Amino acid sequence: MIEVKHLTKVYGEARGIEDINFTMERGEIMGFLGPNGAGKTTTMRILTCFMPATSGTAKVAGYDVFEDSLNVRRRIGYLPETVPLYTDMQVPAYLKYVAGLKDVPWKKIKSRVGRVMEQVGLSHMAHKYIGELSKGYRQRVGLGQALINDPEVLILDEPTIGLDPQQIIEIRSLIKGLSGDRTIILSSHVLPEVSMLCGRVIIIDEGKLKAIDTPENLVAKLQASDSVKARISGPADSVISALKGIEGVKKVESSGAVGSSGEYVVEFVRGFNGSHLLARVAVERKWDLYELTPIKMSLEDIFIHIVTDEDSSL
The DSSP 8-state label assigned to residue 129 in this structure reads B
From 78, 264, 287, 303, residue interacting with another protein (rule: CB under 8 A): 78
Asked if residue 32 binds another protein (CB under 8 A), the reply is no
Are the beta carbons of 37 and 112 closer than 8 angstroms?
no
Nearer to another protein, 81 or 206 (CB): 81
From 55, 87, 241, 255, residue interacting with another protein (rule: CB under 8 A): 87
Nearer to another protein, 78 or 287 (CB): 78
Asked if residue 40 binds another protein (CB under 8 A), the reply is no
Are the beta carbons of 268 and 248 closer than 8 angstroms?
yes
Amino acid (1-letter code) at residue 301: D
Instruction: Considering only the C-alpha atoms of the chain, give the largest distance between any 2 of them, rounded to a whole number of Å.
Output: 82
Q: What letters, b where the CB count within 10 A reaches 16 and e where it falls short, cover 239-275?
A: bbebbeebebbeebeeeeeeeebbbbebbbeeeebbb
CB of 21 to another protein, least distance (A): 21
Contacting another protein within 129-188 (CB under 8 A): 145
CB of 73 to another protein, least distance (A): 4
Asked if residue 62 binds another protein (CB under 8 A), the reply is no
State phi, psi for 83 to the nearest 5 degrees.
45, 65
Nearer to another protein, 45 or 305 (CB): 45
Distance CA 154, CA 143 (A): 10
Tell me which stretch binds another protein (CB under 8 A): 86-94, 224-232, 242-250, 266-274. Answer: 86-94
From 43, 48, 195, 225, residue interacting with another protein (rule: CB under 8 A): 48
Render 25-93 in DSSP notation, one character per residue.
Answer: -TT-EEEEE--TTSSHHHHHHHHTTSS--SEEEEEETTEETTTTHHHHHHTEEEE-TT----TTSBHHH
CB of 221 to another protein, least distance (A): 34
Distance CA 77, CA 74 (A): 8
Nearer to another protein, 97 or 272 (CB): 97
CB of 146 to another protein, least distance (A): 9
Which residues contribute to the site for another protein (CB under 8 A)? 9, 11, 16, 45, 48-52, 70-71, 73-74, 76, 78, 80, 82, 84-89, 93, 97-98, 100-103, 145
